[in-house]
Chains A and B, each alone.
Chain A
Amino acid sequence: DAGVIQSPRHEVTEMGQEVTLRCKPISGHNSLFWYRQTMMRGLELLIYFNNNVPIDDSGMPEDRFSAKMPNASFSTLKIQPSEPRDSAVYFCASSLQEYGYTFGSGTRLTVV
């Protein structure tokens, strides 16, 4: 299994631009999570899906952030418009039941 696959690995964009981060979870996993990691705030859960349905999006910072999971093998996290304070590493993770998460390698986003 290739694990959780995130793309791109690095993204540099200008303030105000739209950014789309992508995630392919492990086949058979029924839950998917998006996290943001910064030095100041650590790991923050943004949103998680169970069986493709958003269950808890209380961590999404504001309306500029949106996430979708159109099918069991793909999810996106979109930021529109992006701001410098969105600069962080964004992780996707998937899991099956309570057996622990498998994390992707992350997308390092820099908004200039």
Chain B
Amino acid sequence: AQSVTQLGSHVSVSEGALVLLRCNYSSSVPPYLFWYVQYPNQGLQLLLKYTTGATLVKGINGFEAEFKKSETSFHLTKPSAHMSDAAEYFCAVSEGGGYQKVTFGTGTKLQVIP
């Protein structure tokens, strides 16, 4: 069975500071990993995904994440936070290979302080 753990339900950073949102996964097969962002009163939007190949994945809005198999982690980072980054972020895992059921983490709300 697959699962996702997001450490920290709320994270606060200053504008211009590094953003680091943590995600650890559990999967019985090589996973496909995703980060989604949800702005207030909107649906979830795909930020980036890892399926195979390069372990450092770049996404939209300057975010990137690195798949570390040895640590079963897929942390999301951004070098410099903007006010517009304030949102809720969800890490997700699927077992890939065409199996499309995705399991989401509980989400991390990012607050950006001016």
Instruction: Tell me the A residues contacting B by CB distance below 8 Å.
Output: 4, 31, 33, 42-43, 45, 48, 50, 55-56, 91, 93, 95, 97-106
Contact = CB atoms under 8 A, between A and B. Distances in A.
A48 B101 contact: yes
A95 B104 CA distance: 15
Interface string B52-78: 000000000000000000000000000
A100 B106 contact: no
Contacts of A105: 42-43
B46 A100 contact: yes
A104 B96 contact: no
Given A4-B43, A43-B90, A48-B101, 20 more contacts: A31-B100, A42-B107, A43-B104, A45-B102, A45-B103, A55-B101, A91-B43, A91-B44, A93-B43, A95-B100, A98-B51, A98-B98, A98-B99, A98-B100, A100-B46, A101-B102, A102-B46, A103-B44, A103-B45, A106-B43
24 contacts: A33-B102, A42-B104, A43-B90, A45-B101, A45-B103, A48-B100, A48-B101, A55-B101, A56-B101, A91-B44, A93-B43, A93-B44, A97-B98, A97-B100, A98-B98, A98-B99, A99-B49, A101-B36, A101-B44, A101-B46, A101-B102, A103-B36, A103-B45, A105-B42
Given A42-B107, A43-B90, A98 B43 contact: no
B32 interface: yes
